[in-house]
Amino acid sequence: MSSTRTAKAGPPMLDLCAIVMAAGQATRMHSDLVKILHPLNGLPMVSHVLELCRQLGVKRTLVVIGYQAGRVREALAPLASGVEFVVQAEQRGTAHAVLQAESVLQGFEGDVLVLSGDVPLLTDALVERLVATHLKTRVHATLVTTRLANPQGYGRILRDRRGAFRAIVEEVEATPAERRVSEINAGIYCFRAPRLFAALHRVKPSTVRKELYLPEVLPLLKKAGGRIATVLAEDPREVLGINTRAELAEAYAVLRRRMVERLMSEGVTCLDPGSAHVSSLATVGRDTTLYPNVQIEGRTNIGEGCTIHAGSRIRDSRLGSRVTVLDGCVISESEVADECTIGPYAHLRPGSHLKRKVKIGNFVEVKQSVIGEGSKVPHLTYVGDATLGERVNVGAGTITCNYDGFTKHQTIIEDEAFIGSNTSLVAPVRIGRGAIVAAGSAITQEVPPDAVAFGRAQQTNKDGRAAEIRKNRGKK
């Protein structure tokens, strides 16, 4: 799994494990899909957090799941190698969620990073600063804070006269003066593991919802003589929690911009950065140019020196180098070799494989087919379930009739064959090497190499008939 972050090498970061809270339902999304699986720039929302943990090199990553647990396991299985799942069968608050990891981390004496699965904009720089501060100051807990112009709805950070952390006060319990505080708790923590789990057992249910909340651990640690440190996130968007569709859109805008900025820093030209959409899973080679309104989705890999023109959409495909995709093309689950030209307004459906220097022209559709090196399918053509050799030319309006109503059949066109315009190739059928098929033919049988095939009715001319028809029409 890749992302907008730069991969790191080396051993795990000290003695650090991560717990990712991902058990909640989030009713404000108004969705049948659990919140953390909502897609965000090519990945489920929570996968951005898991990728951060991988980049940091934590020893173990535990994901606490609950609502739609089976669905979460299934969705993350191919994306989250090495992740361990912990089930919170009954969702009783954030402290209760973290407590579910205690038995899995039994005997662990290091530090625990606690993250939320709905905070996908975190950067490794901020979390590294959190962990570094935690280790340097030797405190029992370190939390991330940020400042908001409108902190309504958030717990406020209270500090003493020296500026040290004193407490978190929830808005409903805050005085008017405390409500004017702009610094809020971002819900991202680093704890000493033994101290954390000991304190979790002493957390009492809230008086309103009867749930166990993780911030209640902090006063318990202070009461036991522990110190609390804080790290300020300068950009509040980095700790944005996703609870609504509007916040999901806001997070997508940030991730999209980060991805485009990274590509440009690596040598990709984006003519209109504000309209380029590139998945976190995608790669784009240097000296490639993306025109406005290009969408690159899923695990797409685009080589060097390519040109992707306006309005094209490429998903889960691999393009070689120096490929030109003209305006308005759709390419899905296909492979395109070096120096191909596609479009405008062409459609490569899943299973299309274009060899080097293939030309696919306007309003051409290709599906589950291999098109050999140097071959051309210039206009208004359908190629499905076919194998074309090298240097084949397919005329305008040609179709491979691959489906008989029950089964798909193969069409094979060998090297250097020429298919005339408006031809129907009724599969299964083979066109031999160097053969020529006359325009307007319906081919139902094999055409031998170097043969010329005519598959059309003989033309008949009726002299003078046109004048007679015009005369008769004029009488009406």
Annotated catalytic residues are 379
Nearest in space to 164 (alpha carbons), one of 227, 214, 219, 254: 227
- According to DSSP, residue 205 is labeled P
Q: Which amino acid, residue 466?
A: A
Structure tokens at 369: 């087919």
- According to DSSP, residue 222 is labeled H
Nearest in space to 402 (alpha carbons), one of 427, 433, 383, 372: 427
Q: Cite the beta strand spans of 313-356 per DSSP E.
A: 313-315, 318-319, 324-325, 330-332, 335-336, 341-342, 347-348, 353-354
Instruction: Please classify residue 283 by burial: count the beta carbons closer than 10 Å to its beta carbon, then call 0-12 exposed, 13-18 middle and 19+ buried.
Output: middle
Query: How far is the C-alpha of 165 from the C-alpha of 143, rounded, in Å?
Result: 10
User: Residue 370 in contact with residue 388, Cβ under 8 Å?
Assistant: yes
User: Residue 412 in contact with residue 395, Cβ under 8 Å?
Assistant: no
Structure tokens at 39: 């897609």
432 C-beta neighbours (distance < 10 Å), count: 18
Find all residues with CB under 8 Å of 311, minimum gap 6, and list them: 293, 294, 327, 328
